[in-house]
Amino acid sequence: MLKFVSVERDMPTKRSADARREDFNEIYAEYADEKAKEQSGRCSQCGVPYCQNHCPLHNNIPDWLRLTAEGRLQEAYEVSQATNTFPEICGRICPQDRLCEGNCVIEKSGHGTVTIGAVEKYITDTAWEEGWVQPIAPVQEREESVGIIGAGPGGMAAADVLRNAGVQVTVYDRYDRAGGLLTYGIPGFKLEKPVVMRRVEQLEKGGVEFVLNCDVGTDISFDEIRQKHTAVLIATGVYKSRELPGPGAGAAGIVRAIDYLTASNRKSFGDDVPEFESGELNAEGKRVVVIGGGDTAMDCVRTAIRQGATSVKCLYRRDRANMPGSQREVMNAEEEGVEFEWLSAPKAFHGDPVTSVKVQQMRLGSPDATGRQSPEEIEGADYDEPADLVIKALGFEAEELPTLWNQDELTVTRWGTIRAEFTSGKTSLPGVYAVGDIVRGASLVVWAIRDGRDAAAAILEEMDAGATAVAAE
């Protein structure tokens, strides 16, 4: 260990921009064994590991880096898996530059961060190849059951913990495949779909039942799910897109990011996607404008490049330093040919179908309540940007679940997210818990996994307390 002085930071080889524009394969190669050992050996083994403290899951990062450096890879996997249900997924899509790697002590000292995400991915990919990842096999089965609404990362993480404890688990989801945004939201160049599907298959082999193409409130009522199960966990995520303001915002050719990305991912599965074939959700040969500065916007611009767009531009109302998306993703997008128009916001849309966007130039003014500078219009500074396809990537809001599910007693916040107890996920309804984006608002996959694991632990604690009380009687 402690090789950071003599060994420089070295990421896995990245495919050339020209090559990766041609497909949806992941852009980074895998570490070779010796390279993984070498890079893990750069860890300084801090007494206070800031990488671990800034990881939402508090992964034991220094421990599995040391084990990897020593060639004890199976043990490294076991330590990694102990705190993270899907380490190979987090290793691929977590914004490490804002979390673990961004707080690495040797990064702060100018030596370049340990490549934590790349090593995490390597450890678990190797575990799959070597057969170390096995289906869930509970020591003892329990009679209690939990119904989970939503097969995204939060729901699947909770299902894993509960099933390992022997609880009977049924997951209900509106889509035809499990995985949520991991399956239909995140493009293959960041997360290849077999990586998600093998986790779903592992849960199925371990006894988790998936009820797919099931829209709660239509195909089955929320009350029916409550009656069938000891406890219910809501992990639906947030899918309601924020709308664009301005004249012409309802024109044809202006589409939601979630619809656009879902169509692209369905094509990768070989599905029949009429909206893609018609060109409605296909960027091929088009001038594309994406509006937004988060990771969803980065997914959209990089997808459009791969679909063969004539040009791809991203409008964001603040500057580069203040954008919410990963800087690593911005760099990848720029390499692939995306143009960023900073301090720019849409003011109106011309044509139906859309032919151009009227762009208002902005400047950063005084800080708002959060300390972030607010964008202000520069009077008289606007221009028309030609566009055949405009993609709205302005973030997501919660659906009105109390109304959709006829549950007036389900308390929500002023943002429409479910009000749930910190850590446990308990809601205002007895025996009902909620986790992930439907509680936090649009957030990171790693936080959904954390919430799912915490709520599962709280459910088990409640079940054990109930069993103890019955036994005492």
pLDDT at 86: 97
Question: Encoding tokens for residue 160?
Answer: 């894993």
| Mean pLDDT confidence for 8-14 | 89
In the predicted structure, residue 469 carries a pLDDT above the cut 80: no
DSSP annotation of 175 reads S
pLDDT at 230: 97
171 pLDDT band, cuts 50/70/90, is very high
The yes-or-no answer to whether 145-239+396-471 and 244-392 have a common fold is yes
370 pLDDT band, cuts 50/70/90, is confident
In the predicted structure, residue 143 carries a pLDDT above the cut 70: yes
What are the residue ranges spanned by the domains of the chain?
Answer: 17-130, 145-239+396-471, 244-392
What are the φ and ψ backbone dihedral angles of 82, each rounded to 5 degrees? -65, -30
Question: Encoding tokens for residue 376?
Answer: 């202000």
Q: Percentage of the chain with pLDDT > 70?
A: 99
| Mean pLDDT confidence for 222-234 | 98
Rounded Cα distance, 125 and 116, in Å: 14
In the predicted structure, residue 472 carries a pLDDT above the cut 70: no
Question: Encoding tokens for residue 444?
Answer: 């990171």
| Mean pLDDT confidence for 407-430 | 96
Bin 296: left if φ > 0, else alpha if -120 < ψ < 50, else beta. Answer: alpha
Count the Cβ atoms, other than its own, within 10 Å of residue 276.
19
User: Cα angle vertex 190, ends 162, 259, to 5°?
Assistant: 85
Coil/strand/helix, residue 345: strand
| Lowest model confidence (mean pLDDT) among 5-9, 254-258, 414-418 | 5-9
Q: Which helix (H) or strand (E) holds 80?
A: helix 73-83
Rounded Cα distance, 303 and 184, in Å: 13
In the predicted structure, residue 473 carries a pLDDT above the cut 70: no
Coil/strand/helix, residue 313: strand
Q: What number of CA atoms fall less than 13 Å from residue 360's CA on the CB side?
A: 17
pLDDT tens across 81-107, in order? Answer: 999 999 999 999 999 988 999 999 998
CA quadruple 342, 280, 302, 193: dihedral sign: positive
Question: Encoding tokens for residue 277?
Answer: 């074939």
Q: Supply the pTM of this predicted model.
A: 0.94
Domain 244-392 class in CATH: alpha beta
Count the Cβ atoms, other than its own, within 10 Å of residue 320.
13
| Mean pLDDT confidence for 229-233 | 98
Rounded Cα distance, 118 and 13, in Å: 11
In the predicted structure, residue 447 carries a pLDDT above the cut 80: yes
Pick 145-239+396-471's CATH classification: 1.10.10.10, 1.10.30.50, 3.50.50.60, 3.40.50.460: 3.50.50.60
Q: Cα dihedral angle (34, 128, 151, 296), rounded to 10 degrees?
A: 30
DSSP annotation of 353 reads T
Give yes or no for a contact between 304 and 288, defined as CB atoms under 8 angstroms apart. yes
| Superfamily of domain 17-130, CATH level 4 | Alpha-helical ferredoxin (1.10.1060.10)
Rounded Cα distance, 435 and 418, in Å: 9
| Lowest model confidence (mean pLDDT) among 306-315, 328-337, 373-382, 463-472 | 463-472
Question: Encoding tokens for residue 442?
Answer: 């649009």
162 pLDDT band, cuts 50/70/90, is very high
Rounded Cα distance, 222 and 334, in Å: 45
Q: What number of CA atoms fall less than 13 Å from residue 48's CA on the CB side?
A: 3
pLDDT at 289: 98
Query: Partners of 471 in the beta sheet?
Result: none
Q: What is the mean pLDDT of the chain?
A: 94
Q: What number of CA atoms fall less than 13 Å from residue 397's CA on the CB side?
A: 11
Give yes or no for a contact between 314 and 339, defined as CB atoms under 8 angstroms apart. yes
Cis, bond preceding 353 (omega within 30 deg of 0): yes
Rounded Cα distance, 34 and 155, in Å: 36
Residue found by looking up tokens 């029916």 in the block: 224
| Mean pLDDT confidence for 47-66 | 95
Strand order across the beta sheet in which 432-434 lies: 209-211, 168-172, 145-149, 231-234, 432-434
pLDDT at 38: 94
pLDDT tens across 350-362, in order? Answer: 999 999 999 999 9
Question: Encoding tokens for residue 181?
Answer: 């945004």
pLDDT tens across 277-293, in order? Answer: 999 999 999 999 999 99
pLDDT at 470: 67
User: Cα angle vertex 201, ends 200, 202, to 5°?
Assistant: 90
